[in-house]
Amino acid sequence: MKKSLFILLAVLICTTMFSQSDNSKGIRIVPLEKEQRVDIYIDGEVFTSYIYPANLEKPVLYPLKSSSGKYISRGFPLIPREGERIDHPHHVGLWFNYGDVNGLDFWNNSYAIPENEKQHYGSIVHKKIVKTSGGLKEGTLVVQCSWIDPEGNILLNEETTFIFSGNVENRRIVRTTKLTAEKEVKMGDNKEGLIAIRVDRAFEQPSDKPEVFTDASGKATDIPVLNNKGVNGAYKSSEGKEKDAVWGTRAKWVSLSAVKDNDSITLCLFDHPSNFGFPGHWHARGYGLFSLNNIGSKVYNPDDQEVKLVLSKGQSITFKHMFLIKSGGFISEKELKKEWKNFSQK
């Protein structure tokens, strides 16, 4: 029943997305507070929405489209699409959270967690929209959120600035997230983090065997062999690693390319040199989880030193990342290096 209510509410929130368009040029940011979302338009079409329904354990950008109108994020669990995997219900859109904050798991929390286990999980609650502004070249959305424990106590106050931009080929999101400790906060060496997107089926790597996925709580999900038609994703890192070899390695950026509906599309996530732990480790999986972790270290490489990020009360830390979507032809490594250099100097 709880899952049914979750899906019903999610559909009510999301079904009006992408139903509106106009002929405006540039970027418009449209808050719809009653619907608990903010729509982001680029050249008259909705690119994505910042959504924060009360029954979602974190605000996310969902769904995301390329400039050519192709979905690049997975639909499940909010608006499932035929042929998708239905594992990891906490993988929703593009999000930012972590698997160990004062011993609480913010990453794996979802409607699938039984009430008697919720005491082990934290949630991120949207508090307010601070600023919205649009323009011909870019649009800005600033929001405030709180990272809370199961009793509703605030551990971290978050202020995030999204800068959206794009043209006929590209879509860019620069996300700057400032976390300020309400009390002493310790973030342990955990593989579940930090910024992530769960991608559309086309961007997965082909799989020819049944799989079992187990989350941090030990909950297993059996996944049968799926139809691999149109599934052709391939990772590549700034350090030359490819496909499964990317996982757990450090890199300045990682790209994920695939052909979807005859359109060659590249997704790329960029780390910023000012970030803690730069360059971060990549929690990039063939089944469609595309994630950069700036904190976890030894959990990926036993030869690394164990990391524990500690913030005293009132202390802040800021993370900056960029997500790029390029359609109409794969982006070259030369272009990616240029993109990273431009981003790294901001």
Contact (CB, 8 A) for 199 and 73:
yes
Return the DSSP state at 105.
Answer: B
60, 178, 302 from 196: Cα distances, Å:
10, 17, 23
Q: Considering only CA atoms, which of 277, 332, 343, 268 is closest in space to residue 308?
A: 277
| pLDDT in the model for residue 209 | 74
pTM over 0.85? The answer is yes
Q: Which two tokens stand for residue 249?
A: 């390695």
Q: Which residues contact 84 (CB under 8 A, 6 or more apart)?
A: 74, 75, 76, 201
**CA torsion angle 267 298 296 336 (round to 10):** -30
Domain regions of the chain by residue span: 2-344
69, 166, 167, 263 from 171: Cα distances, Å:
11, 4, 7, 15
| pLDDT in the model for residue 215 | 53
CA–CA dist 60, 160 (Å, integer): 12
| pLDDT in the model for residue 210 | 74
SS3 of residue 115 by DSSP: helix
| pLDDT in the model for residue 7 | 47
The 10s digit of each residue's pLDDT in 89-119 is 999 999 999 999 999 999 999 999 999 999 9
Distance from the Cα of residue 48 to its chain's centroid: 12
CA–CA dist 119, 117 (Å, integer): 5
Per-residue pLDDT of the chain (346 residues; tens, 9 = 90+): 445 445 444 544 454 454 455 668 999 999 999 999 999 999 999 999 999 999 999 999 999 999 999 999 999 999 999 888 888 999 999 999 999 999 999 999 999 999 999 999 999 999 999 999 999 999 999 999 999 999 999 999 999 999 999 999 999 999 999 999 999 999 999 999 999 999 999 999 998 777 766 554 556 677 777 788 999 999 999 999 999 999 999 999 999 999 999 999 999 999 999 999 999 999 999 999 999 999 999 999 999 999 999 999 999 999 999 999 999 999 999 999 999 999 999 9
SS3 of residue 247 by DSSP: coil
| pLDDT in the model for residue 252 | 98
Out of 1.10.10, 2.70.98, 3.40.50, 2.30.30, select the CATH number for domain 2-344.
2.70.98
Contact (CB, 8 A) for 299 and 190:
yes
Q: Considering only CA atoms, which of 273, 232, 263 is closest in space to residue 325?
A: 263
Contact (CB, 8 A) for 296 and 282:
no
| pLDDT in the model for residue 3 | 52
211 backbone dihedrals φ, ψ, rounded to 5°: -135, 155
The 10s digit of each residue's pLDDT in 305-325 is 999 999 999 999 999 999 999
